[in-house]
Each structure stands twice: as structure tokens, then as C-alpha cells.
Amino acid sequence: MAVARLRFLDKQEEELVHAQSLKSLKEIGVLVRSHPVLKTLHNAGAEVDIKTGVAKIPEHMVKEALQSVPHRIKLCGRDPKHDMSLPTETFPRIATTGLAVYIRDYETGEKRASTRADIAKFVRLADALEPISYCWTSMTARDVPHMSHGVHELWVAMQNTTKHVQGVTLLSAEDSRRQIELGALVAGGRQELRKRPLFSVICCSIAPLSYEEGAVEGMVEFAKAGVPVVSMSMSLSGGSAPVTMAGTITNANTENLASLVITQTAAPGSPHVYSSSSAPIDMRTGGIHYMTAEPALISAGLGQMAQRYGLPCMVGDWGINDKEEPGMPHSFSEIVGVFLTTLSGTDMAGGMGGLDAVKGASLEQMVIDANLWDNLRAYARHFTFTPETIALDVVKAVGHGNTFLTHPHTARLFKKELSFWDPKKLAWEQTYSDKMVPEAHEIVLKTLEEHKVPEIDKAVLEKGNRMIKDFEKSVE
């Protein structure tokens, strides 16, 4: 099967990154701010210093983790037609944006703090847009108590899509347990959730090489419950990682291997996704610099490392708009970066509908992003190369100097083999501007009016709402 793929590292460079990651784990170790997790690592063979919280991980623990982790997993939706098998065989599956703290109101244009109601509309629109394969919880619910916002976001997202939901908030072990309970309610029980994980969770290390107590203990809870853990490294070149490309890629790879050891030591065989959202810092401002050349190259290198280990991965970021207003504000350089990222070997990526380096969100931007991806993904579909598809028998039948246009072989296969872009969607790409926003706005209005998401059983909803209320009281 032929699929367009781009490679960045040669074989020797892959092996060097792996070897240096093992050296880092053994000699530098990782800071783990959790005594229970440190104890688990110590019992499995790590050299642990309880006073400093540093665990030095030997090579055999990495090998054991790579042997126990599943190399193919399925992320499921309430509707099985949206189930995703990973690794993918063609183009990656793209999700909505991450954890925005504000939204551009689609009715007023106002920039304001995001709410539960905004998450519901945002996810429902994503449910309707076919190019979007799964949904992040997308925004911070800033109208609920802070310590419970993660469970609110997951619960609202699960009600408004039948696609797979990926959570991006993890505050504590108890927070994880409540999210697991909510997922199990919808799935029909804990065993059903384990069989068909309706949600997964991004669990971030803190670069360089450290783990906060709540996040790492929560990661362990998810692993034990069979909820897929997405071990995201956010290694920032020149900030939280060496400024060199090699140093950033190695740091992110090291953190992924450490996260894998933690989940597999706690729960051997638990589903795990290798992940990164790494980029350089902007040396002028100190902020994350997504709209430059390096993020795509980092993604390409880490995609190769994930493939080396046989792990499903989410190492790409979808992002064409780092401005505060919706539109397509960048020219060829940035679009090429999106293209390279999605063809570099990642199985998943998030970011549709994001603004302002993922701090903001816009429904119109989601429509623009989905239309662009509908065109771009045609480059990464698979093509079969066999004697039958090469079709020498057809060549012989057509004969020298004649046309294949009227042959039945062409009529039977042209829709499968050729891509046909919508001229209206292509028109949005003719200029980098906000000219397409009014048309995207009309699509938002029409979709939100017409698209209905199958409801979760009323008794399940009521029980979930009570669970969240109880959790709010416990964390006040």
C-alpha cells in the first residue's frame, strides 16, 4: 500500500536519539512528585531518591514497557462508525482545539471567557463536520468551580458528540476517578469502558523531565482503568528543552519513554499513545512559537521515533491561525508547515477551531479548518500497487496512442483514484485573509440549527449530574 510520507531522521539519527534517551533516563532520571508512583517505580527496578523525588530508570524497564504496551489500539465513539484504529493507515485523524480560555462569540463577535454552553455548541458543530474525526473537550469551562472544570468539560463534550472524546484536563487522582466514572456511565460499566474506551486523556509531563503529583497520579488511575493515556511532552526549544533540534526531539522522546514506563509499570498492557506538542520559544517574546518551520520538523522526527517503537502517536498540531480573529491569516510558509506536520507520520492531531496560539476558539475557524483539511488529506490517502491496478491488460486493450477515457476500467475506478476538490472550498484558499469568515458563519448557523446529536439516556444524565455536584462539594 502506497501512502505519501515524509522522513526527517536517518536510521543512525533515530538510533542516536533512542540511545541518548536511555542514557538520560538512567543517568539523569525524571523528577516524580508522587511517593506512591516513586514506590511503584522502585519496586519495578528504578533507582529512586525519595528526598529529591528523582527516579533513574534502567534500560530493562523501558524494554519491558515496550513489550507490554499494545501496539494497536482503538479509540471508540458512542456511535461505532466513528471508532478509530491506531496507528492509521492513511492520513491522521484531526480533532478540535485544546483548552482555550476564551471564545469569539459566533453571534456577537465578542471575545469573552468560555463556558459550558460554549463547549456544547463547539463540540456539536465538530460532531457535524465530517473532516473532524474526534473531539477534544476544547475549552475551559470558566463558569464552574475551577477544581471541577475537567469533569464538567468531559461530561458536556460526551453529551454533544457521538465521536471519540479526548480530555485535556487532569488535576488529581480523584479528578481522574470521577472522569472514569462518568465515562463508565455512558459506556455501560467499567468493563464496557475498558472494552470500548469512549474517551482518552492527554497527560502532560513538565519539561524538562518532571511530573507533577496530581497529573502523574491521575495518569496511573487512567491506565489502571484502561482509558488510553496520551503522554504529551511540551518540550520548548530554548525554554524547557535544549535549543537544538536534536536536543528538543531527544527530550520529548525521553519524556514519552518515561511516561510509558510509568503507565506500563502501574498497569501492564494499558493503551498508550506517544505524544508531543513541542515547538521553539519565540526569542522576542518568550511565548510558544508554533507558526515557524521547526514544529513540523520536530513532529516529523518524533513521528519516526513513535514508529520505531511501534506506538500509535499524536505528534502533530493543526494550526493555521495564531491570531485573535478567525480567518486564514498566513501565507504559503505556514500552510506548508501544516502540510508537513500531517504527512510526517502522526496518527492524530488536534487544533481545529483554535485562535491565538490555542488560547482562543472560534466556531467559524473550525469550519475554515475543516474545509482546508478536507482538501489537504487527499494527499495522504492510500494507493494500491499490484499487477491488477497497474492494469497492463487494459493498456493492451486500449492500444497504442489511444485514449483510456471511454474504457470501462476508467469509469469504474476514477472516483476512487482521483480527487475532486470543491471549487467553493478552494476559493477560501486563494488569499490569506478573513474574507471567508461570513460564509463560514452562515455554515455555523445552519449546522447548529439542523444538526442533532443522539441524546444520552436521561437516567444516566441525571446520575452523572449528581456525581459532578458531589465532586464539586468534595473539592471546595
pLDDT higher than threshold 80 for residue 337: no
pLDDT higher than threshold 80 for residue 171: yes
The Cβ-side half-sphere exposure at 464, using a 13 Å CA radius, reads: 26
Encode pLDDT of 259-301 as tens digits: 999 999 999 999 999 999 998 988 888 888 877 788 888 999 9
For the chain, give the number of residues.
476
Q: Quick one: average pLDDT of 92-108?
A: 93
Say which residue, 339 or 75, is predicted with more confidence.
Answer: 75
Per-residue pLDDT, 320: 73
pLDDT higher than threshold 80 for residue 339: no
Encode pLDDT of 189-244 as tens digits: 999 999 999 999 999 999 999 999 999 999 999 999 999 999 999 999 999 999 99
Structure confidence at residue 433 as a pLDDT band (50, 70, 90): confident
Average pLDDT, the chain: 93
- Single pTM value for the model: 0.92
As a whole number of angstroms, the distance between CA 303 and CA 348 comes to: 10
What are the E-state strand segments in 339-457? 348-352, 354-355, 360-362
Distance of CA 417 to the CA centre of its chain: 29
Pair 217, 37: CB distance under 8 Å: yes
Edge-to-edge strand list for the sheet holding 348-352 = 93-96, 348-352, 316-317
Q: Quick one: average pLDDT of 61-80?
A: 98
State the cell numbers at 411.
469509469
State the cell numbers at 176.
481522574
Q: Quick one: average pLDDT of 320-348?
A: 79
Q: Which residues of 327-341 are buried (b: 16+ CB within 10 A; e: fewer)?
A: bbbbeeebbebbbbb
Per-residue pLDDT, 291: 75
Q: For the chain, what percentages of helix, strand and coil (3-state, to nearest 5) are there?
A: 45, 15, 35
Say which residue, 135 or 291, is predicted with more confidence.
Answer: 135
Alpha helices in 164-293, H assignment, sequence order: 173-187, 190-195, 213-225, 245-266
Per-residue pLDDT, 338: 76
State the cell numbers at 298.
520536530
Per-residue pLDDT, 1: 63
Per-residue pLDDT, 83: 98
As a whole number of angstroms, the distance between CA 347 and CA 81 comes to: 18
Structure confidence at residue 311 as a pLDDT band (50, 70, 90): very high
Using CA of residue 333, residue 337, residue 343, residue 349, what is the dihedral sign?
negative
Per-residue pLDDT, 50: 94
pLDDT higher than threshold 90 for residue 322: no
State the cell numbers at 379.
494527499
pLDDT higher than threshold 80 for residue 49: yes
Show me where the domains of the chain are located.
Answer: 11-59, 67-380, 387-417
Encode pLDDT of 15-30 as tens digits: 999 999 999 999 999 9
As a whole number of angstroms, the distance between CA 282 and CA 430 comes to: 29
pLDDT higher than threshold 80 for residue 4: no
State the cell numbers at 291.
507558526
- Domain 67-380: assigned CATH number: 3.20.20.480
Say which residue, 102 or 378, is predicted with more confidence.
Answer: 102
